[in-house]
Amino acid sequence: MIKTFIDKLLGKSAGTGASAKSRFGKRQEVPASVHGIDPALVDERAKNVVTTLQSAGYEAYVVGGAVRDLLLGLRPKDFDVATNATPEQVKSLFRRAFIIGRRFRIVHVVYGRGREHEVIEVSTFRAYMDNAAAEQVKGNERTSKGELAGMTHAVDSTGRVLRDNVWGPQEEDAARRDFTVNAMYYDPASGIVVDYHNGIKDAKKLVLRMIGDPITRYREDPVRIIRAIRFSAKLAALGFEIEPKTAAPLIASSKLLADVPQSRLFDEMLKLLQTGHAVATIAQLRKLGLATGIYPLLDVVVERAEQPFVKAALVDTDRRVGEGKPVAPSFLLACVLWADVRDGWAQRLEGRHGQRGQPAFPALQDAIDDVFNTRIGDVSGRGKLGGDMREIWMMQPRFDKRVGSTPYSLVEQARFRAAFDFMRLRADVGEVSEAIAEWWQEFSTADDLRRQDLLDQVREEQKAPVRTRVRTRAPQANAPVDGSSGEDRAMPQVEADDEDADTQGAVPPDGEAPRKRRRRRKPRPAGGGGEGGPSAG
């Protein structure tokens, strides 16, 4: 009776033993002599998590993409662990462990602190649940939050899984994973790889194949569409191709992404762009016919990917990830949306409908606000990411001022390095003078004596008076730079200002000195023929 109940819960019926066996695959234990994984490529912290769980009497394996990369001879950037221990049992074994998530409850085991910290993600083996047996809700995660609170397995009206926290055996856990090359389990202690769906064979054949029926799997979780793009982009350089049956439903299924929470799509977009394969991802999106429709901001990235400035940012991001250097989403998104900020700034400086233009920095702030409202919205544009983007943009005109106290205060800003790298890319595509970029590179690393020499050098070149009246110049509406289209225009220019005012503009980006203005004449002594008038112009 109990077995009948479990079979019903899992969507099984009499006579389905063969199909169930096929669905869950056949367990294969592949020894190290066959798979050839180099144990030295396995992170010691991941080994520690596996050993701790096994010592407590649980099953535990390195799982997923890490095993795939190990089979390919690559050093994985992230390590996940799968176990038959529940999240609460896992948490009790580690000093710094945190249960996260609602849709999928997992544990983050944290090693180290600050920027050097490492997270090993631990998930519990999940049962393969037939959606016909799942509890159904009419709404989504947000509108049905109260209803979902007590559910362990729930789907919406389209079949998308909203909760998946029913624990089960390893073979069922493997069946509910997405791609065959991501459904293998590696035991560092014994050296054995457990493979249920011929993942090792597909890895050797360089094939990315969905486990089960692709249409059904995309319906269960539309984000698998984005994962297919990400993995295919990452593995394209190795010769991997998406299996035709796995690729065929991608375009038709992409409409299901409309029901996925915007915050989750935003996070998945960042994974596409920040895992070291941004350029390959753009190519893959176009190849698969998904250049538009996944997420509005991603559409903008793809559309502008060939513009010199955005392309330079994508290439630079891939390079930094490849070198093991940190990358920030704020930097790349600031590059992608810079054309919007710059053009909106120029329009406000010029004025509209006969009205006088705004002062330079209020105009820049308003242009930035417009970009957040139209391009990013409330997903992340008002948090830290938005604050970092704003600082990068607001610092750009300050790089044009290289006199007085501005350079000293600017290099002390927390976001100086990101803002400088942004300006450096602008110089690479001809939007800023190369000489200015080199000057700031030297100033930022020089000692006090050399910094004073650099300031004296600028003062001599400019031969500017100590104080001049603030004056702004709007750029020509369609003046292209670096041979690109009119969208890559020079930024609005702000002339030299009071030497002690750190938030005003300075010399034009092309490095030309500001126009000289004659000083106002001092009043003559009494009887000397009257006061001189103001200087012309």
Q: Looking at the domain that runs over 329-462, which CATH code has it been given?
A: 1.10.3090.10
Token pair in block for residue 27: 């367990």
Tens of pLDDT, residue by residue over 404-422, are 999 999 999 999 999 999 9
Q: Is the pLDDT of residue 5 over 70?
A: no
Tens of pLDDT, residue by residue over 196-218, are 999 999 999 999 999 999 999 99
- Tell me what pLDDT residue 259 has: 86
378 in active site? no
Q: Is the pLDDT of residue 512 over 90?
A: no
Tens of pLDDT, residue by residue over 167-185, are 889 999 999 899 999 999 9
**Sorting pLDDT into bands at 50, 70 and 90, what band is 379?**
low
Q: Which fold has domain 212-317?
A: cca-adding enzyme, domain 2 (1.10.3090)
**Sorting pLDDT into bands at 50, 70 and 90, what band is 537?**
very low
Token pair in block for residue 112: 């180290």
One DSSP character per residue, 296-340 reads: HHHHHHHHHTTSHHHHHHHHHHHHHHHTT----HHHHHHHHTHHH
Q: Among the listed ranges 47-61, 297-311, 460-474, which one has the minimum average pLDDT value?
A: 460-474
Residue type, 406: T
Residues of the chain with CATH 1.10.3090.10: 212-317, 329-462
Token pair in block for residue 218: 């995309």
What does pTM read for this prediction?
A: 0.74
Token pair in block for residue 251: 């375009």
Active-site residue, from 43, 69, 80, 488 = 80
Active-site residue, from 7, 78, 187, 421 = 78
CA distance 197 to 179: 9
Kindly state the average pLDDT of the residues 429-444.
94
- Tell me what pLDDT residue 515 has: 41
524 vs 197, residue with greater confidence: 197
Residues in Cβ contact with 476 at an 8 Å cutoff, skipping those fewer than 6 apart: 489
449 neighbors 466 (Cβ within 8 angstroms): no
78 in active site? yes
One DSSP character per residue, 214-263 reads: HHHHHHH-THHHHHHHHHHHHHHTTT-EE-HHHHTTHHHHGGGGGGS-HH
214 neighbors 52 (Cβ within 8 angstroms): no
Q: Which residue has the tokens 């180290």?
A: 112
Q: Is the pLDDT of residue 290 over 70?
A: yes
Tens of pLDDT, residue by residue over 478-502, are 444 444 444 444 555 554 343 333 3
- Tell me what pLDDT residue 167 has: 85
- Tell me what pLDDT residue 366 has: 94
Q: Among the listed ranges 18-22, 75-79, 451-455, which one has the minimum average pLDDT value?
A: 18-22
Residue 79 φ then ψ, to 5°: -125, 130
CATH superfamily for domain 22-127+166-205: Beta Polymerase, domain 2 (3.30.460.10)
Kindly state the average pLDDT of the residues 296-314.
96
Q: Among the listed ranges 120-134, 141-155, 367-381, which one has the minimum average pLDDT value?
A: 141-155
Q: Is the pLDDT of residue 281 over 90?
A: yes
Mean pLDDT of the chain: 80
Of the ranges 129-133, 444-448, 471-475, the best mean pLDDT one = 444-448
406 vs 104, residue with greater confidence: 406
- Tell me what pLDDT residue 105 has: 86
Active-site residue, from 43, 178, 318, 343 = 178
SS3 517: coil
One DSSP character per residue, 158-205 reads: T--EEEE--B--HHHHHHTSSBGGG-EEE-TTT--EEESS-HHHHHHH
Q: Is the pLDDT of residue 36 over 70?
A: yes
- Tell me what pLDDT residue 24 has: 81
Percent of the chain beyond pLDDT 90? 61
Kindly state the average pLDDT of the residues 335-361.
87
Reported residue count of the chain is: 537
Q: Which residues pair with 207 in a beta bridge?
A: 241
- Tell me what pLDDT residue 112 has: 85
Residues of the chain with CATH 3.30.460.10: 22-127+166-205
Which of 290, 162, 152 lies closest to 219 in space, CA to CA? 162
- Tell me what pLDDT residue 14 has: 38
List % helix, strand, coil for the chain (3-state, nearest 5).
50, 10, 40
Tens of pLDDT, residue by residue over 214-245, are 999 999 899 999 999 999 999 999 999 999 99
SS3 76: coil
- Tell me what pLDDT residue 77 has: 86
- Tell me what pLDDT residue 284 has: 96
189 vs 114, residue with greater confidence: 189
Q: Which residues pair with 80 in a beta bridge?
A: 63, 121
- Tell me what pLDDT residue 378 has: 66
- Tell me what pLDDT residue 113 has: 77
CA distance 85 to 98: 14
Q: Is the pLDDT of residue 319 over 90?
A: yes
**Sorting pLDDT into bands at 50, 70 and 90, what band is 22?**
low
80 in active site? yes
**Sorting pLDDT into bands at 50, 70 and 90, what band is 398?**
very high
Q: Is the pLDDT of residue 135 over 70?
A: no
Token pair in block for residue 465: 């008076």
